[in-house]
Chains A and B, each alone.
Chain A
Amino acid sequence: MGDKFIRAISTEEIAPGGMKTVDLAGREIVICNCGGTYYAIQRRCGHMNAPLELGTLDGKYVTCGMHCAQFDITTGQALSGPVPTDLGNERLPPRVAAMMQNVAMQMQHVRTECIRTYETKVEAGWVHVAQ
């Protein structure tokens, strides 16, 4: 194994459709098992930095668990931004409502960026990630 790749995780640790976080030399990386092919992506969502492994993986698409932004794990491309939420007819206490309004106003200015992907290879039952 050359210097380019770091041993990250055993293939047996991630079931198909699963994701797991590893810390590689200070980098937070999520390894995704997409039908037996392993992909490595940055852990932080390109929208508001939520940990992506707490979301869902469906095929090559990861959906963030916080605001449902979606990304393609093979390219890192941002596919959609946050899904708007609705509190229905629930009346919030005025101070909470004001805070929510402020958060909503600020969130309008948050862009959903593409996420970083890393080259991977499987060798001797281990997933290796490029440095």
Chain B
Amino acid sequence: MKTESRKEALQYFFEKVVGPMGFKFTPDFELKDFLLEQEVMLEAKHGIPFCPCQPIRRDRARDMQIVCPCIPFHREHFDAIKRCWCGLFVHKDVIDPNSLPQLPPKDVGLG
């Protein structure tokens, strides 16, 4: 299986999911490309494109919450920081993702 083709397919399917939730792919092309590649590798290993920045715990219920795009499971935090944890997705109004602060949940009134 070719990595580039799978990256293109994942992007096609993810766009359909994150768009209605108010998110888009990061405009940082290099970061997007890198993260999608990691997901392709994780999918090749586990059969599922897990979030590349979260540990797989071998606990099905918890692991399902880090299947990309994991926005629905962590929506409050992502909305507060205008991006997902790894930065693959940002709010649609974000132009410069590097300007976004990375705040832990407690700093935005969560957890």
Residues of A within 8 A of B (CB): 58-59, 61, 70, 72, 75, 77-84, 86, 88, 112
Contacts and interface: CB of A to CB of B under 8 A. Distances in A.
Contacts of A70: 9
Given A61-B13, A79-B5, A79-B9, 16 more contacts: A58-B12, A59-B12, A72-B5, A72-B9, A77-B2, A77-B5, A78-B1, A80-B9, A80-B43, A81-B1, A82-B47, A83-B47, A83-B48, A84-B48, A86-B60, A88-B60
Contacts of A83: 47-48
Interface residues on B, range: 10 to 19
Interface string B42-57: 0110111000000000
Contacts of A112: 1
Query: What DSSP secondary structure best describes chain B's contact surface?
Result: helix
Interface of B: 1-2, 5-6, 9, 12-13, 43-44, 46-48, 60
